[in-house]
Amino acid sequence: MSQHILTVDNLTTRFATPDGEVEAVNAVSFHIDPGETLGVVGESGSGKTQIFMSVMGLLSKNGKASGSVRYKDAEILNLAPAKLNKIRGVTMSMIFQDPMTSLNPFLKISKQMTEVLVEHRGYSEEKALKHAVNMLDRVGIPGAAQRVHMYPHEFSGGMRQRVMIAMALLCDPEVLIADEPTTALDVTVQAQILDLLRDLKKDFNTAIVMITHDLGVVAGLCDRVMVMYGGRVVETGNVRDIFYDSHHPYTEGLLKSMPRIDRAHEQKMYAIPGQPPNLQNLPSGCAYQERCDYVQNRCTQSRPVLYDIAQGRASACFREVGE
Amino acid sequence: MNAIPETPLLSVRDLRVHFSLPGKGLFGKPRTLKAVDGVDFDLFPGETLGIVGESGCGKSTLGRAILQLIPPTAGQVVWLGKDIVGTRDRDLQPLRRDLQIIFQDPLASLNPRMTIGEIIAEPLVTHKADLGKAEIRNRVKTMMARVGLLPQMINRYPHEFSGGQCQRIGIARAMILEPKLIVCDEPVSALDVSIQAQIVNLLQDLQRDFGLSMLFISHDLSVVRHICQRILVLYLGNVMELADRDTIYAAPKHPYTKALISAVPIPDPELERSKERIVLKGDLPSPINPPSGCVFRTRCPFAKEKCATDIPMIETLGPSHQVACHFHGRM
Amino acid sequence: MFNKSRNATALEKSGPVEEFEGRSLWHDARIRLFRNKAAVGSMIILAIIALMAIFAPMLSPFEYDEIDWGYIQEGPNWENGHIFGTDGNGRDLFIRILYGARVSLAVGLLATAVSLVIGVTYGAIAGYFGGRIDNIMMRFVDVMYSLPFMFFVIMLMVVFGRNIFLIFVALGAVEWLTMARIVRGQTLSIRRREFIEAAHATGVSSFKIIFRHVIPNVLGPVIVYMTLTIPQVILTESFLSFLGLGVQEPLTSWGVLISEGAKVIEASTWMLVYPAIFLALTLFCFNFIGDGLRDALDPKDR
């Protein structure tokens, strides 16, 4: 078995807010192997993004992460920014839902792309530019040699996301973390970007973390899936297990409540009742209890941990341990 | 499905909304953005018509032009047999009672300085002020209960609610006058997956109970498939295809409709990985400078010479199937 | 992130029948403001100064225009009761500062109130209607801006004679211009929000939209600007008085007192120092409150 590229152990992320402390991520553990695609699924506020913000050292000032994050064997959690910069953007890159937040609107794409290469790889300007153009070409930007000299706002939304992916791939990273990269895009453009990611995975053997709320995207792209709810992992497994044999009631509910384009009209959609949990005010016991169809007495009293079902497969529900 | 009555509630005829933009440079000629460029359709009582398309296709503008929130440039909006385009604001007042709108961003559509009671009551206060305070409050509470909000929350403020609950408040405000038509502008797009289904079910319940007609504007074809009886596909302000639900999903005739449907991911690994995909090239062209001939030709995998020169006419294929493509027969 | 409190969900399950009281944004802002020590301290100091101005006659055995022939231009002295000393005419400086406070604070508050009413209404109307109306209204503001202020005041004085009421009018007439610009800018961004569109779609009249939906949502920046306008107005009044265009003897204002003190700065420092302290303290306090309000009303920018 190959060595994990990224190992996250017992990661907890807290935010200090005027109304008290909030645990956005609670005791999350997982790992990523070379070349695999991990889907991280959850709703807004489930902590899915904050896990990777912690990993990349990008937490906002009022956030604090504890636990352990290892890149191969080296501990990287809460590393000084100077040291972290040798890893982020080089061996681990992250792309975001809104590319404009990570592109400098005042600099040409060429400048923004070559900077990284000159800095980290010691390339000459000329060589760096050539590499940048190649990369833009690779992600499907027509006329890359000319367009590299344009400013970010001169690109459309889909093109900007391609530029972001090209930038993320410049230093040939081992892990690409994609945080809802297609949520702001139209479906036809989303399909293009997903195709691109599939190709990259094949060509570069890059491990991809796909953070998304869209189970359809996960179904098409991912090998393994981690489902988040209320800051905790509630179910993990490979993609087929999650979709065809889901164990956790939340996963099950989520799958049932997705409207599907391939199915004819049903009288009424299945809907998970209630509201997403308020992290400031989580109930004691299972966070999903108020919305769960299988809720029992013990769900309100103690919190289920992740119970292993099989190799690499776990669910945080008392149904796994029986009566 | 019930038989659709013959007289339409709303008829839109050759509706156009053009915006003029200042020209490039100091002396540039003013340019025209054709957001909606000749749309025709009928909406029947109790029916839900889906308007789908990508961002920039003019679907939101179309919805607002029908409600006269954006003045149409040309064409007709016939509401209950009377063209309402160009009617003065004051004369629209009685019509507004029957025409309501629900927005995409639930929080942004609620005034943050008002309690939700005041927000939901506003249409009543505007149109039926003679009811008296107590009766208005009563009706607000009844409507709150109807849309799944606790009536004792009446004095709370929008920021104290989650996205799904805010959308319920928006729906309550739209429903309180018991309108005949609601334009839903992407009502579930901003909501979490687990909440979307709740809101869709609520809208369907309300539609059944009140005999509402709905224009459901969305980019999400899977939600549209669930809630709409007929679907209108829009591209750069032009109608590409209009058909009833089962026809459009089973046998789409326009290449754009096909591509759109095939691009929606299916939450099933086997199906998603094995399905036939039509991936469109490139991006949506600018509506300021749309392609000649068929507006879709620059991205169409089947485009031929004719498409660049001739604008395809809308052809009627069946009782409720229209398509605008020169080569629909070969699809 | 996670700044927002969403306790509505938590309360949902308890579900008693009585109605919950909501926490309005104003209420939240008030709580944040009262957590700001500098702002609270400033409010207390200002309140003390204001109370002293209101109850001035009770705080001193002297009248503000009473001449004490025994002590002309004498320094502070606790024994004879002239705790801040006396001026060149033998009048008690302490009571004169308090009477000066009446004028200065009243000018500050009234002129600001005038600018508030005109500026907010004008700006909201221009911003909401936009287009040609906006163009005409804002060009008028530009023209007003380009009029030399001093010239304007002197003209008023020449035509109508020296009058404290004119100072209010003159200051208010100038200050509302900036207020109108701020409100117009805010309105332009609010106008595109969906809740305005929702009100429009319901058939709410433009007038009601402006007063029910637009103005309450632009008040945040307006209040902040207002607290910064008050000291500005006080300062301008002081400046006018310094030039001899302000209030008339024997009535006084802080500006007049400082002006008199400045003339005799070498012989009688106290005549400059005490009114200057009051003026500076007041200006500081208003600025701190303005800062506190900005933080309280715009928690995102912290």
Contact assignment for C5 to A22 by CB distance below 8 Å: no
Q: From residue C22, give the alpha-carbon distance in Å to each of A184, B148, C73, C195, C297.
A: 34, 18, 60, 19, 17
Q: Is B246 on the interface with A (CB under 8 A)?
A: yes
Q: Shortest CA distance to A226 belongs to which of A1, A10, A37, A11? A: A37
User: To probe the interface with A, which of B2, B186, B193 has the most A CB atoms within 10 Å?
Assistant: B193
Tell me which of B235 and A86 has the higher pLDDT. B235
For chain C, domains (ranges, CATH) are 44-301 (1.10.3720.10)
pLDDT in tens, A132-159: 999 898 888 888 888 899 898 888 888 8
pLDDT in tens, A1-35: 458 999 999 999 999 887 788 899 999 999 999 98
Q: Is B266 on the interface with C (CB under 8 A)?
A: no
Please identify every stretch of chain C with a pLDDT value under 50, giving residue numbers as ranges.
1-16, 301-302
Residue B169 lies in a domain: no
Contact assignment for A187 to B221 by CB distance below 8 Å: yes
Calpha distance C130→A87 (Å, rounded): 51
Looking at chain A, which residue has its C-alpha nearest residue C32? A18
Predicted pLDDT at C71: 72
Q: Is B93 on the interface with C (CB under 8 A)?
A: yes
Domain that holds residue B243: 10-98+219-330
Taking chain B, what is the end-to-end CA distance rounded to the nearest angstrom? 28
B167 CA to centre of own chain: 16
Task: For residue A19, report the phi and psi dihedrals to the nearest 5 degrees.
Answer: -100, 20
Could you tell me which residues come within 8 angstroms of residue B160 by beta carbon, excluding any fewer than 6 positions away?
C5, C6, C7, C8, C22, C23
Calpha distance A243→B269 (Å, rounded): 7
Residue B116 lies in a domain: no
CATH of the domain at B297: 3.40.50.300
DSSP state of B78: E
What residues does CATH 3.40.50.300 cover in chain A? 6-91+171-259+268-321
Calpha distance C58→B5 (Å, rounded): 85
pLDDT in tens, C152-169: 777 777 787 777 777 777
Residue B32 lies in a domain: yes
Q: Which helix (H) or strand (E) holds C184?
A: helix C164-191
Q: What is the SS3 assignment for C79?
A: coil
No. of helices (H) and no. of strands (E), chain C: 13, 0
Q: Which amino acid is at B115?
A: T
DSSP C227-283: HHHHHHHHHHHHHHHHTT-SPPTTS--HHHHHHHHHHTTTT-THHHHHHHHHHHHHH
Residue B209 lies in a domain: no
Task: For residue C291, report the phi and psi dihedrals to the nearest 5 degrees.
Answer: -60, -45
Contact assignment for C204 to B122 by CB distance below 8 Å: yes
Q: What is the mean pLDDT of residues A184-213?
A: 88
Confidence of residue A266 (pLDDT cuts 50, 70, 90): low
Predicted pLDDT at C229: 86
Contact assignment for A272 to B204 by CB distance below 8 Å: no
Predicted pLDDT at C124: 93
Q: What is the mean pLDDT of residues A37-65?
A: 91
Task: Tell me the Ramachandran region of residue C252: left when phi exceeds 0, alpha when psi lies from -120 to 50, beta otherwise.
Answer: beta
CB atoms within 10 A of CB A6: 23
Calpha distance A156→A174 (Å, rounded): 28
Predicted pLDDT at A132: 92
DSSP state of A153: G
Q: Is B112 on the interface with C (CB under 8 A)?
A: yes
Cα dihedral C104, C109, C113, C119 sign: positive
CB atoms within 10 A of CB C17: 7
Looking at the domain A6-91+171-259+268-321, which fold is it? Rossmann fold (3.40.50)
Q: What is the mean pLDDT of residues A269-298?
A: 88
Residue B268 lies in a domain: yes
Chains in contact with C, where contact means 3 or more Cβ–Cβ distances below 8 Å, are A, B
The total number of structural domains in chain B stands at 1
A24, A275, A290: residue with CB nearest C2:
A24
Residue count (chain B): 331
Residue B136 lies in a domain: no
Chains B–C, number of C-beta pairs less than 8 Å apart: 104
Calpha distance A240→A224 (Å, rounded): 9
C16, C193, C203: residue with CB nearest B96:
C203
DSSP state of A318: G
DSSP B122-165: HHHHHH-GGG-HHHHHHHHHHHHHHTT--GGGTB--GGGS-HHH
Tell me which of A49 and C299 has the higher pLDDT. A49
Calpha distance A285→B107 (Å, rounded): 30
Predicted pLDDT at A27: 92
β-strand partners of B19? B33
Residue B36 lies in a domain: yes
pLDDT tens, N- to C-terminus, chain B (331 residues): 445 557 899 999 999 999 888 777 767 778 888 899 999 999 999 999 999 998 888 899 999 999 999 999 999 999 998 999 988 888 888 889 999 999 998 889 999 989 999 999 999 999 988 888 999 999 999 999 999 999 999 999 998 888 899 999 999 999 999 999 999 999 998 888 889 999 999 999 999 999 999 999 998 898 999 899 999 999 999 999 999 998 999 889 999 999 999 999 999 999 989 888 888 887 788 888 889 899 999 999 888 888 999 999 888 988 889 999 998 877 6
Predicted pLDDT at C196: 93
